[in-house]
Amino acid sequence: MKTIVGLEIHVQLATRTKLFCGCSTDYRDDEPNTHCCPVCLGLPGALPRLNRKAVEYGLKVAKALDMRVPEESEFARKNYFYPDLPKAYQITQYDKPLAVEGTVEIEDDEGHEKIVRITRVHLEEDPGRLVHVAGASKYSLVDYNRSGIPLLEIVTEPDMRSPQEARRFLNKLRTILEYLGVFDGDREGSLRVDANISLEGSERVEVKNISSYKGVEKALTFEVTRQKNLLRRGQTVTRETRHFMEGRGITTSARGKEEEHDYRYFPEPDLRPLRVADRVAEIDLPELPVARKNRFMAQYGISLNHARTLTGDPKLADFFEAVAGVDPVLAATWVADTLLGELNYRDMSIAAVPADRIAELLDLLKSETITDKAGVQVLREMLDACAAGKPCEPPAVIVEREGLARATGGEFTPIVQAVIAANPQAVEDYRTGKKGALNFLVGQVMKETRGRADPRELGRIVSECLDTGGV
Amino acid sequence: MVTESDIEHIAELADIGISKDEVPEFTTQFNAILDYFEVLDTVQGESAPAVGITNVFRDDEPRPCLPQEAALANAGSTEDGFIKAPRVM
Amino acid sequence: MAGTLQFSPDDRYNAFITTCREAPFGDGALAGTAVAVKDNISTAGIRTTCASRILESYVPPYDAHVVGLLREKGAAIVGKTNMDEFGMGTTTETSAFGPTRNPADPSRVPGGSSGGSAAAVAAGLVPMALGTDTGGSIRCPAAFCGIVGLKPTYGRVSRYGLVAYANSLEQIGPMARTVEDVSRLMSVIARYDPHDSTMLDRPYDHQPSAEIKGLRVGIPEEYFGEGVDPRVAGTVRDAIGVLEELGAETVPVSIPGMRHALAAYYVICTSEASSNLARFDGVRYGPAVDTRKSWHEAYQDLRLELFGTEVRRRIMLGTFALSAGYAGRYYAKAQVARRNIKEDFERAFCDADVIAGPTMPTVAFRLGEKTDPLSMYLSDILTVPANLAGIPAISVPCGRVDGLPVGLQLMGRQFEDERVVDAAFAYEQEVRA
């Protein structure tokens, strides 16, 4: 049974001011109702003024997604009553969106390239935020700081075939938006998704208000299971809107008024139409993920997997390029595999890591001053310091203080000899051809030298000692 | 021709209260007005794209916001800097 | 020479909703001049009610652009004038603060919706006032009260701070006893404001001139036809005769789209109003809402209680006209009709420099006379075309019928406010002399 998924993605654009007024968009962590003016509070008589930057950002996205920008675009009022919507209408775009008909390339579940078609993108304003107060008397508290934050709504065709594809699409889209510099994915709530999902031949269900990337896959997976179970039991899927309960990982039906909305759209009389099609040609796009991935492979000689990982986030790609100097392949391995793993473990952002220190660490590794194992130890100390907001010491200082410099051959010959002497059984096993015995002995030496020796080199020395019987 | 139940439905759509005893009068008046509006059926022509000024923009420069007291000054009830509203569900 | 103006008028006609006993003023072209402001124009620190109970205690935290301009030029803002609730009416009887009476005959309405501004000027309480005109709301009361009122070209005066009723139609405009004062006030308020995206930077800097020799005055047959009191039509024809004596020539013109004008106007203004007025929910301003009720229940109850009948009727009409299944028949058709009328005027203005006719089809109604909404709407037939077309239109007193004032309406091309002012000025100077 084929799964059919289409997405509507609401992205907060990273402008300095709101879509229709000069209030700052930097509202997170601030007191409620402190980023407001007559316009975004919807006070009587206030009039919207369109932010040029928001339109430019929208056009940039349109160009990056290879979209067509119609001759004329227009804002409209979407009328509905809700306490977070101060004017009782949302200024959005309806039948004349900013751009139409685009594409995004993703990998399907078999790893093949596939195209997800973009139906349209349009600009609209974010409503305020409601806090629900429970208890004896239930009511809502409203904060209009978010009211008027510019959103770009991106609507796809129903081209995705699994929850995993939907997630890959979102990751790809997010990367493109970050490359364009129009979006800050680290901001809480900066990307929200409504998903349409159906099983082939059945009714479509809309799942609203998914506010994380992981949430999309989770919500859709839940829905696929729920809908399949319904059909298996001989029931039918009802066409409806459902809400995703992030905490419980389930969707629940949103029955009632919400489903019978008549938004009574009409053109916003307080704003003039846009004629911006001819401006698209002037937009200089930055290097986008696919181009950068290809360049990374060509220029640095790194693997497809490393290139893909490194270009998945523009900040990570920039970081890599800052440290790639001495040995790009070494740098790619360390950044894409080791560093990224350590960052994920600590829930840290790459932005918190000083590139110059990592470059120094790569130098120590390249010059074989320290072993890989010691390198990881140094890296962890550095990241722990960064995470704690402490100054990051130069790796050489840490190596010195912790005595992590690579031990040289002569330095550990006595240790090798001691280990051989202390493990006659293993020596005997080795001589009778049991290969595991060598690893055991090397491991014992490693333990004694606290990772300062290179395991391969140690292996060579230990087997030399054993073979020549040079004890 | 709209009926009394249409009028009640329109009031619901407009989210505006209407008292029972108003409904008959509103219905009569609506019908008279809608009869008059029928003249629009004879309008000739297609809607054309908007003309006149286009592309009116503001630069992305932050401006001062209202102080919180001013933003809340006209609200009937507030709590901890929030504006209080009836529950939605 | 900044100072404070003491203002305690004998407001026997109920022209004001709020008066400012001590009105500060500054230097400038209007230094110390008392100006009344219609109560749908925001004034920082002075409550702005739109004559509605729903905004009874609303005090805006900001000034409308025009109010800022008035203060800048030294005017003393002495009060907020009565009006039909949210501008929805032709008589100033739908005000939650009681009707205004017509100083020319207190048993009559002053017209509306800027009836308070017109009455304050006509009664001599202030020399000039601001009104707003969505479908005739400046010109109708000017005509009924025997004063001068100008609805500027759409986009010439900032709407920032004007509590919206029908955004695409309405303009703030000057009202005064003389054309000269209307022109003076216009030159203060017609200044570019980036807050209003529908505005064009076309400041008004004009001294009225009575020289109208060779002016082509278009006479549309539709303005003298059915529904127009023949005595009013005759009075206006006489006034046009005066213009001819001054060297103007008359040409017949036609606005065939007039037959759709009123329906188109009411569909558009109620549609926009249904959206504009939805924000009055008692949450951000207005009385405390009852949080024991659910949102929709509290919202509906509040609007039933605090909006007048005409306001609720228009909100419902507009909601209907925009609703799924009906928008094509009403809203979309009205937009086509509107464009046709605009084109009719453009054609007419090839042959004529201004177009003349009566402002209102009758003289002022008696208080309580218009009880049926449709018959009230029909009286706007001669004023709404200028709003649909976005063109300037002035009403200047041109005689009396039954002892009640009649207004001559002069309409001009877009952004030719100066020309309609000159034509009105020429007429006024001639009949005053």
Helix axes A289-300, A304-311, angle to 10 degrees: 140
Question: B39-65 as b/e, with b when 16 or more CB fall inside 10 Å?
Answer: bbeebeeeeeebeeeeebbbebebeeb
**Could you give the 3-state DSSP secondary structure of residue C277?**
helix
User: What residues of chain A lie within 8 A of the CB of C319, using their CB?
Assistant: 264
User: How many Å apart are CA A23 and CA A18, to the nearest integer?
Assistant: 6
Which residue is listed with tokens 């009191």? Answer: C229
Q: Has residue A63 got a pLDDT over 50?
A: yes
Asked if A44 lies within 8 A of C55 by C-beta distance, the reply is yes
Contact A243, A206 (CB under 8 A): no
Residue C415 region, left (φ>0) first, then alpha (ψ -120 to 50), else beta?
Answer: left
What dihedral do alpha carbons C396, C397, C401, C403 form, nearest 10°? 150
Flag if B82 and A273 touch (Cβ within 8 Å). no
Give the closest-approach CA distance of B29 to chain C in angstroms: 7
Is A340 an 8 Å CB contact of chain B?
no
- pLDDT per position as a tens digit, A306-351: 999 999 889 999 999 999 987 999 999 999 999 999 999 998 989 9
> Would you say the C-alpha torsion A297, A301, A306, A311 has a positive or negative sign?
negative
Q: Indicate whether A26 pLDDT > 80.
A: yes
Calculate how close chain C gets to B19, using CA atoms only, in Å.
Answer: 8
Percent of chain C with pLDDT over 70: 100
What does R_g of chain C's alpha carbons equal in angstroms? Answer: 20
Q: What tokens were used for A61?
A: 């996205």
Q: pLDDT at residue C125 above 70? A: yes
Burial of C87 by CB count in 10 Å (0-12 exposed, 13-18 middle, 19+ buried)?
Answer: buried
- For residue C290, what pLDDT band results from cuts at 50, 70 and 90? confident
What's the whole-number mean pLDDT along residues C193-200? 97
Q: State whether residue A424 is helix, strand or coil.
A: helix
User: Among A111, A138, A143, A140, which residue's Cα sits nearest to residue A127?
Assistant: A143
Cα gap A436→A428, rounded to integer Å: 12
Tell me whether A87 touches chain C (CB under 8 Å).
yes
Which DSSP letter does residue C138 get?
Answer: T
Of residues A389, A358, A355, the one with CA closest to residue A376: A358
Number of Cβ within 10 Å of residue A432's Cβ equals 7
Nearest neighbour of A49 by CB, restricted to B13, B58, B88:
B58
Query: Which of these, A76, A91, A75, lies nearest to B54 by C-alpha position?
Result: A75
The verdict on a CB contact (< 8 Å) between B36 and C260 is no
Q: What is the pLDDT of residues C239-285, one digit of tens each?
A: 999 999 999 999 999 999 999 999 999 999 999 999 999 999 888 88
Q: Which two tokens stand for residue A130?
A: 């409601």
pLDDT score of C368: 96
Q: Which residues of B touch C155 (CB under 8 A)?
A: 53
What's residue A469's pLDDT?
61
**A17–chain B Cβ distance below 8 A for any pair:** yes
Q: Tell the residue number behind the tokens 């230990």, with chain if given.
A: A462
pLDDT at B49: 65
Among the partner-chain residues C61, C64, C167, the one whose CB lies closest to the CB of A270 is C167
Tokens of A346: 């600590």
pLDDT of residue A444: 83
Decide if B78 touches C, using CB distance below 8 A. Answer: no
Interface contact flag, A81 C296, Cβ < 8 Å: yes
The tokens describing A221, both together, are 């997976």
Q: Are C283 and A147 in contact (CB under 8 A)?
A: no
Which of B16, B83, B85 minimises the CB distance to C304? B16
- Identify which of C232, C314, C324 has the alpha carbon closest to the alpha carbon of residue C274: C314
Mean pLDDT of chain A: 91
Residues in A closer than 8 angstroms to B85, CB to CB, are 83, 130, 139-142
> Shortest CA distance to C379 belongs to which of C398, C403, C358, C404?
C358
Mean local confidence (pLDDT), C208-217? 97
Confidence of residue C71 (pLDDT cuts 50, 70, 90): very high
List chain A residues with CB under 8 Å of C323: 262, 264
Identify the DSSP state of C153. P
Q: Which of A38, A83, A265 sits opposite C295 (nearest CB)?
A: A83
**Residues C145, C82: Cα–Cα separation, whole Å:** 14
pLDDT category at A471 given cuts 50, 70, 90 is: very low
Rounded mean pLDDT of A121-126? Answer: 98
Give B-chain residues touching C313 at CB under 8 angstroms.
26, 29
User: Phi first, then psi: what are they for C36, rounded to 5°?
Assistant: -95, 145
Report for A240-254, A393-407, C213-227: range of highest mean pLDDT? C213-227
The residues of C that are catalytic are: 38, 113, 137
Q: What is the pTM of this model?
A: 0.91
- Mean pLDDT value of segment A399-415: 78
Q: Which amino acid is at C5?
A: L
Residue C332 to residue B42, Cβ atoms within 8 A: no
Q: Look at C197 and A140 and tell me if their CB atoms are within 8 Å.
A: no
C-alpha span between A86 and A76 (Å, rounded): 16
The answer to whether the Cβ–Cβ distance between B86 and C316 falls below 8 Å is no
By the 10 Å C-beta count (0-12 exposed, 13-18 middle, 19+ buried), A75 is classed as: buried
SS3 content of chain C, % helix, strand, coil (to 5): 35, 20, 45
Q: How confident is the model at residue C383 (pLDDT cuts 50, 70, 90)?
A: very high
Minimal CA–CA distance to A127: which of A30, A45, A58, A42?
Answer: A42
In this complex, the residue of A41, A131, A274 whose CB is nearest that of residue B82 is: A131
Phi, psi of B36 (to 5 degrees): -65, -40
Q: Could you tell me if A146 and A127 are in contact, meaning their C-beta atoms sit under 8 angstroms apart?
A: yes
Cβ contacts of B52 on chain A, cutoff 8 Å: 272
Give the mean pLDDT of chain C: 96
- Sequential DSSP letters for A310-363: HHTSHHHHHHHHHH-SS-HHHHHIIIIIIIHHHHHHHT--GGGS-HHHHHHHHH
- Residue percentage of chain A with pLDDT more than 70: 97
Interchain CB distance below 8 Å, B75 and C197: no
Do residue A45 and residue C162 have CB atoms under 8 angstroms apart?
Answer: yes
Q: Which of C241, C154, C194 is nearest to C415 (CA)?
A: C154
pLDDT digit of tens for each residue in chain B (89 aa)? 899 999 999 999 999 999 999 999 999 999 999 999 999 999 998 877 667 899 999 999 999 999 999 999 999 889 999 999 998 86
Contacts of C168 in chain A (CB under 8 A): 269
Interface mutation target, options C48, C197, C283, C380, chain B, most CBs of B under 10 Å: C283
With a pLDDT cut of 90, the percent of chain A lying above it is 68
For C161, which of A45, A49, A271 is closest by C-beta distance? A45
Q: How far is CA A290 from CA A118, A364, C211, in A?
A: 18, 32, 72
Each residue's pLDDT tens digit, A438-456: 888 888 888 877 777 777 7
Three-state DSSP state, A465: helix
A34 contacts B88? CB cut-off 8 A? no
Task: Cite the beta strand spans of A18-138 per DSSP E.
Answer: 76-79, 89-92, 99-107, 113-125, 129-133
Q: Confidence class of residue C16 from pLDDT cuts 50, 70 and 90?
A: very high
A133 CB neighbour count, 10 Å cutoff: 15
DSSP string, C53-96: GGGTT---SS--HHHHHHHHTT-EEEEEE--SGGG--SSS-S-T
Q: CA angle A313-A315-A318, nearest 5°?
A: 110
pLDDT digits (tens, 9 = 90+) for A229-277: 999 999 999 999 999 988 888 999 887 555 568 999 999 999 999 999 9
The residue whose two tokens read 């008279």 is: B32
DSSP category for residue C328: I
